[in-house]
Chain A
Amino acid sequence: MNRTVASWWALAIVLVGVSLMAPLFMSGYALRFCTFVLMWIGLAGSLNLLTGYTGYLDFGHVAFFGTGAYVTGVLMLKVGLPFFPAMFAGAVIAAVIACLVGIPTMRLKGAYFAIAMLAFAEAMKHVVLELDGITGGGNGLSLPIYTNYTFFYYTMLAAVVFTIAVTYWFGRSKFGYALKAIREDELAADVSGVNTFSCKLIAFGISAFVAGMIGGIYAYWMTFLTPDDSFNVLLTVRMIIMAFLGGAGTVLGPIIGATFLASIEEILWASFAYTYLIIVGVIVVIVVLYIPRGIVGLIGEKLIKQYRRKGKSA
């Protein structure tokens, strides 16, 4: 047990170390690609915090990403706040909105929750479109321009490390256990003393905070936002696919899912645009039908079986 824990930590340290040093060897496109991968890890991780742990499938998660992006943009542009306070404000506002929306929405279950969140995200998009005096509406919002891409890499990396740390904490804390219990059987969790509603709401808030934070970094990095792109339902869809492909409710799942999908996208997309999306579709179908617990789950189960077999023969 101790040795495995030690090697996990060593792996984590190596990963973080490599990530920290990476910009020394990369620039331009490679750096941007890696920043995107980090962004996706963060977003998939954010969705995972909610969906992976509580089982609530959020089809409108992009709303928090978009909120973070737009709040950051507007605060920097109209109020003149520096980037970090603006980003932090964006994340906090995303979290507050999540909690407010969560109070009625979190009473819904399954498909109803998914549809309600989808409706919420679409409504948010149109609200941003309508508030064109503040957000630039359909004309888009152009942020102050900053092109130190290494800065964005490190900021994104920090956000991802934060996300993973939270996920790790979810995995082995009293609170995290409560969320997993909610996912497995909400009623049983409730009668066992878990304050299901508050727990769900807090998880929702944390998850939205992360998405909003990444949205803020994204906004400053991209320098130009439009509601259609910042609140695009396809972003939610990618978060979901990445989280489930890797293994929802695990620390490594979003990392593996996001890296895997972003990489095959990079390899396949240039040459086969539509074919790539068909392949993604096939992957989703295969994951659902054959490996519902994702890559991590698949490997994890194998390891457990091996471990057991060893235990028995010994």
Chain B
Amino acid sequence: MLLQVLLNGILIGGIYASFAVGFSLIFGVLRIVNIVHGEFIMLGAFITYWLYSIFGIDPFLSLPVSFALLFVGGYLLQRFVINRIIEAPEIMSLLLTFGLSLIIVNIALIVWKGDYRLVNPEYAGANLELGTLIIPYIRLATCVFALLAVGGLQFFLQHTNTGRAIKATSQNKEGARLQGVNPARIYAITFALGAGITAIAGSLLSMSFSVFPAMGGDYLLFSFFIVVVGGMGDLPGALVGGFILGILQSLVTNFIGAGLNYIVIFLVLYVMLITRPTGIFGRGLIE
């Protein structure tokens, strides 16, 4: 039983990690708390849903489409809107992205209505039984894809010129500028990458959970948790944070009771913030 509980936590944790990584990346480089994040998840999920329900495209094949569309959208959003307040106090970026989130959610509500939808392909309920352990294929696959996406991002940051420029900008903006990096461009690319990878996470989520316009809010809360636990701007930390959240939820629900689930999560988040704002590895940013 304990093994199964841990396994559930890990499987779900992989997806959690993938949507928190984008949040962490954007905070780490741009120093903004991106409230639109939840809507990126929602848009990714809807892209997968529509491709699946209209064209019958396998949900996993829609991942690149989600990434590409949100990459472009994120780039434009940063370049033309968010960039204008990048130097302003944090409150302003919180408010701005919050306003954007209101706009996106409600447009989605007009276009797609409040209906709950499922991406439910043939193989959705299949599972692998290992003795008493049950591993739903779809959760295993989404977890693996989520980890691949995070790994890809990490590879990109470490082994490409643009990636290195992003890292340099996050560490020292003025220094990067002196070396010929254009921060505005780097910011836009970072934001686009963050949006793209978050959309992939949204697509993956849609295979296990319901899809509806207001779905982003709760995932945004989870992102806060993961990123605070992992350390703001610390990508491997976000990965670990995701697993911690998944396992914690699973453990609490199993051994204490579902009602206390959120209380425990928020308490942990709260205590982390106060005692260790740099995250478990102590590598996160503080102001």
Identify the A interface with B (CB < 8 A): 51, 55, 57, 104-105, 107-112, 114-116, 118-120, 122-123, 126-127, 129-130, 233, 237, 240-241, 244, 274-275, 277-278, 280-285, 287-289, 292
Contact = CB atoms under 8 A, between A and B. Distances in A.
A287 B99 CA distance: 10
14 contacts: A116-B273, A118-B221, A119-B270, A119-B273, A122-B266, A129-B259, A130-B260, A241-B95, A244-B95, A274-B107, A274-B110, A278-B107, A288-B88, A288-B92
Given A108-B277, A292-B88, A123 B99 contact: no
Interface in B78-132: 81, 84-85, 88-92, 94-96, 98-103, 105-107, 109-110
Interface residues of B, number: 42
A288 B85 contact: yes
A217 to B, nearest CB: 28
Contact of A130 (B81, B95, B221, B263): B263
A112 B269 CA distance: 11
User: Chain B: interface secondary structure?
Assistant: helix
A281 B262 contact: no
A292 B96 CA distance: 10
Contacts of A240: 95
Given A105-B274, A108-B273, A289-B85, A282 B99 contact: yes
B96 A274 contact: no
B91 A110 contact: yes
Contacts of A110: 89-91, 287
User: Chain A: interface secondary structure?
Assistant: helix
A244 B99 CA distance: 12
Contacts of A105: 270, 273-274
Contacts, number: 121
Nearest to A284: B99
Contacts of B106: 274-275, 277-278, 281
Nearest to A292: B92
A282 to B, nearest CB: 6
B275 to A, nearest CB: 8
Nearest to A113: B273
Nearest to B223: A115
A122 B260 CA distance: 12
Contacts of A119: 224-225, 266, 269-270, 273
A126 B92 contact: no
Contacts of B277: 108, 112
B266 A284 contact: no
B25 interface: no
Contacts of A114: 33, 94
A197 B30 CA distance: 29
A284 B81 CA distance: 13
A108 B81 contact: no
Nearest to A107: B274
Nearest to B114: A274
A244 B277 CA distance: 28
A234 to B, nearest CB: 10
A126 B262 contact: yes
A282 B101 CA distance: 10
